[in-house]
Amino acid sequence: MLHKKALPITALVLLFLFITQISNAQSKDSVINFIFTSDVHFGLKKEEFRGKQQVPAIEINKAMVQAMNQISAKNSSAADIDALIITGDIANRMEKGIQSANTSWKQFKEVFIDSNHLRKANGTKSELLVVPGNHDMSNAIGFHRPMEPKKDAASMLGIYNLMFPKNQVSKFDSSLTRIHYSKDIKGVHFIFLSLYPDSAERVWMESDLKNIAHSTPVFLFAHSIPDVEPRFFENPNGIHDINEEDKFENLVPERYKDGRNVKGETTIEQNEFADFINKHPNIKIYFHGHENWTDYYQYTGPKKNINLTCIRTDSPMKGRISLKDEKKLAFELVSINTNTGLLTVKEVLWNAHLNSNELEWGQVGTYNLK
C-alpha cells in the first residue's frame, strides 16, 4: 500500500518518536532503521541546483548527507540509523573529460565518511555498506569507448577495502569485481551483491544461505535492475573481449546466453534468477539503483512465476524525475520491526524546499515479511 501525501519534517520526527515508543515497549533490539541511496556519480555536474548552474556532484552529495544527518542526530532517540547503504556508481565512468575514479573516491570519502554523522541507538557511527556499480567496474577493467585514463580501479579498490578492512589490498585484481558479502542485523540477513545476481553470484549465495534459517527474512542489494541489461554480461562473440563493435562490458563472469547482440533480451538469465528466488522464498526484497527514481514495485520475471518486492531509489545526479525537478530529489528511509515482521519504506524528499532544511515525505510503502 502506497501513500503519496508529503509530510513536513515535524511529522517525520513525530512519526519516528511514535515508532520508537512502540519498539521500546517491545524491545530496543527489534527495530532496524537504515537509509538507502544509489548512483551518487562523483565526477558529474548537475545543470542546476539551488539556483546555481553546473554544480559538481560533491556539492550535491554533501547537501544530501546533511539532510540525512538531520534524521539521525547524535544522542537522538527519535531516529537511530543502523546503516547507510549505497548500491554503486560511486564514480562516474571516465569519459569526455570526467575526472578520474581516484579523484571521485577521495570526494566520496570526504562526503560519505567524513561528513556523515549518522548514529546507531548506542551512539556509535552507523555502518556504511557499499557495493559497486557498472561505472565503477568499467573504470577498473576498461570500456569499449575511450576513457582517460584508460583504467582506474580506485573506486573498486576503495569499496573493497572499506568493506573488508581486515584484508586490505593495494593493487587491483579482476577477481575483486566480485565484491559481495552478507551481514546479519537484528535477525534480518542482508546480502550485498556485485552488480547483479548472475550465475556466479547465485553459487556464492547458495553457500551463504546454507547457514540461514528458512524463517529468516533475506534482503538483496544490487546495483542492477532485476530485468538486467545484456551489455553487463560477458561477450558471447569472438574472443569474448570488450570491443567497440560488440559493446558488451564483461562486468559479470557469466557469458550472455540469449544471442549475440547487445540489444537483445535477457530472458534466459532472468528465468534462472527467478528459479533461484522460487527456491529461496525467504528472500523478501530486492533493493537496487541503476535506473533511478523512487519506485516500490513487484518483479514477476519473464514467466510471471515470482512476485519479488523491489525497492528502487533515486540518484542525486541522474534521477529520471529529479533531474528535471530538483524538488523530487530523494533517498529512502527503511524501518523494520522484527517482532511484527512489518517493513515500512519512506521516500524522503530532501530538497523539497531547496535552500531550506525542511524535509518532506513522499511515497510510503508497507510490507509484511512473514
Q: Per-residue pLDDT for 13 more than 90?
A: no
- Asked, for residue 347, whether it belongs to a domain, the answer is no
- Percent with pLDDT over 70 in the chain: 90
153: CATH: 3.60.21
Q: Per-residue pLDDT for 75 more than 60?
A: no
- Asked, for residue 2, whether it belongs to a domain, the answer is no
Mean pLDDT of the chain: 91
pLDDT digits (tens, 9 = 90+) for 318-360: 999 999 999 999 999 999 999 999 999 999 999 999 877 789 9
Q: What is the pTM of this model?
A: 0.92
- Asked, for residue 316, whether it belongs to a domain, the answer is no
Q: Per-residue pLDDT for 173 more than 80?
A: yes
Half-sphere exposure at residue 298, Cβ-oriented, CA atoms within 13 angstroms: 9
Residue of 169, 87, 183 lying closest to 136 (CA atoms): 87
Q: Per-residue pLDDT for 155 more than 80?
A: yes
- Asked, for residue 56, whether it belongs to a domain, the answer is yes
**Which pLDDT score is estimated for 12?**
54
- Asked, for residue 219, whether it belongs to a domain, the answer is yes
> Which structural domain, as residue segments, surrounds residue 211?
34-311
Q: How many CB atoms lie within 10 A of CB 120?
A: 15
Residue scoring higher pLDDT (219 or 6): 219
What is the C-alpha separation between 21 and 231, in angstroms, rounded?
48
Cell (9 digits) for 245 = 563493435
Q: Per-residue pLDDT for 2 more than 80?
A: no
Q: Using an 8 Å Cβ cutoff, are 112 and 86 in contact?
A: yes
- Asked, for residue 216, whether it belongs to a domain, the answer is yes
Cell (9 digits) for 259 = 544471442
Strand intervals (E) in the chain: 2-3, 31-37, 45-49, 52-56, 83-87, 127-131, 181-185, 188-192, 218-222, 283-288, 295-299, 308-312, 330-337, 342-349, 360-368
Residue scoring higher pLDDT (74 or 223): 223
- Asked, for residue 71, whether it belongs to a domain, the answer is yes
Number of domains in the chain: 1
What is the C-alpha separation between 177 and 210, in angstroms, rounded?
24
- Asked, for residue 307, whether it belongs to a domain, the answer is yes
Question: What are the residues facing 218 on neighbouring strands?
Answer: 189, 283
Q: How confident is the model at residue 4 (pLDDT cuts 50, 70, 90)?
A: very low
**Which pLDDT score is estimated for 29?**
66
The separation between the first and the last C-alpha atoms of the chain, rounded to the nearest angstrom, is 16
